Chains A and B, each alone.
Chain A
Amino acid sequence: MKLKDLQSLLQDCKPFEEPKVELEQYTTRPHIAAHILHAIHNSYEGFDDTTVVDLGCGAGALGVGAAILGGRIIGIDIDKDALAIAQENAVELNPWEEDLCIDFVNADVLELVPQMCEKLKADVVITNPPFGTRTKGVDIEFLKVASQIATSAVYSLHKSSTRSYIQRHATKVLGFKRAQVVAELRYDLPKTYKFHKKACKDIEVDFWRFEVK
């Protein structure tokens, strides 16, 4: 599938109805989701024979997109309202005749350490974690859980301002073999919450690939 076709499918992704500020819920923008998935599919593992866990899947842009590209997906999120929307997206955005292979589980990603991850294994983990502006370090906690689930690679988004810390932490503490920034993105956050002053704010975000041993 071409990038522009994937992007136009994800364009119709239904966003959160009432985003919850404490969970830092932002819908992954369609063009960003499409670029990320396209890169994984064409330059790395691909989704054809892969199992994928989407941590903090929210309304499901990444997970549903990965399922459209042929992956078998488990989307995990703490918020059941978001999962209901993700489930709708999995039906509405599906361009194929057969059903997408995607399941959703209502669980707290931060509770998954470490007991629950012994059986929860997937080739690839994708995550657009909360960036940690409300709860400091929460993106690193997501990355830690991801490192225990993935057997091949983890793909994640983090603020560019944390790049050198992430690089060090991923290889020294979390035990990844390699950590590389695949792309620098300008993440255009539309005004989602009342405390946002500007209608649209660009933040600089890195799209990372973490290779598992």
Chain B
Amino acid sequence: MKLLTHNMLECHIKGVTNKYPFKVEAEEMENCECEFNPDFLRRMYPKLDWKALKETADELKIEGLPESVSEEMLKGDESFLRAFHHALLEVEVQEGALICPETGRRFPITKGIPNLLLNEDEC
């Protein structure tokens, strides 16, 4: 699971209001190599929850993301764009769990795939 995907997932247990973002427990992480495409990053930035990305990256000890992002950085700050690309698309949580911020329910991540299937009493 990449942080791009993490940024878009929320806990969907019935009745939960504080459902975003999932806390990530990472037991095993891997790096993959994806094509570096700054145009995609510029298009993606306004759609992302930056705070969630930054906090999660910090917890996973992925370095190089600033607290806030300026126009100039998005335009032409190569080292920032590389760090952004890496955190968003190249870091993969292989084993671990997503934790609901309200209930603490653990959704396991196995071989890179988070299991978000709910139990009967949760939906």
Question: Footprint of B on A, CB under 8 Å?
Answer: 48-49, 51, 70, 72, 74, 78, 80, 83-84, 87, 96, 98-99, 101, 103-108, 111-112, 115-116, 118-122
B116 touches A106 (CB 8 A): yes
Closest-by-CB residue of B relative to A84 is B111
From B9, B12, B37, B112, contact of A111 by CB (8 A): B12
Q: How far is the CB of B94 from chain A (nearest CB, A)?
A: 11
A118 touches B10 (CB 8 A): yes
Q: Which residues of B contact A119 (CB under 8 A)?
A: 7-10, 20, 49
B: number of interface residues (CB 8 Å): 34
Q: How far is the CB of A83 from chain B (nearest CB, A)?
A: 6
Question: Footprint of A on B, CB under 8 Å?
Answer: 1-2, 4-5, 7-10, 12, 14, 16, 19-20, 32-35, 37, 39-40, 43-44, 47, 49, 89, 111-118, 123
Q: How far is the CB of A79 from chain B (nearest CB, A)?
A: 10
4 shortest A-B CB distances, which residue pairs? Answer: A116-B12, A107-B116, A99-B32, A103-B5
A106 touches B113 (CB 8 A): yes
Q: How far is the CB of A152 from chain B (nearest CB, A)?
A: 12
Q: How far is the CB of A179 from chain B (nearest CB, A)?
A: 25
B112 touches A104 (CB 8 A): yes
A105 touches B5 (CB 8 A): yes
B44 touches A106 (CB 8 A): no
B5 touches A116 (CB 8 A): no
A98 touches B117 (CB 8 A): no
From B113, B116, B117, residue with most partner A Cβ within 10 Å: B113
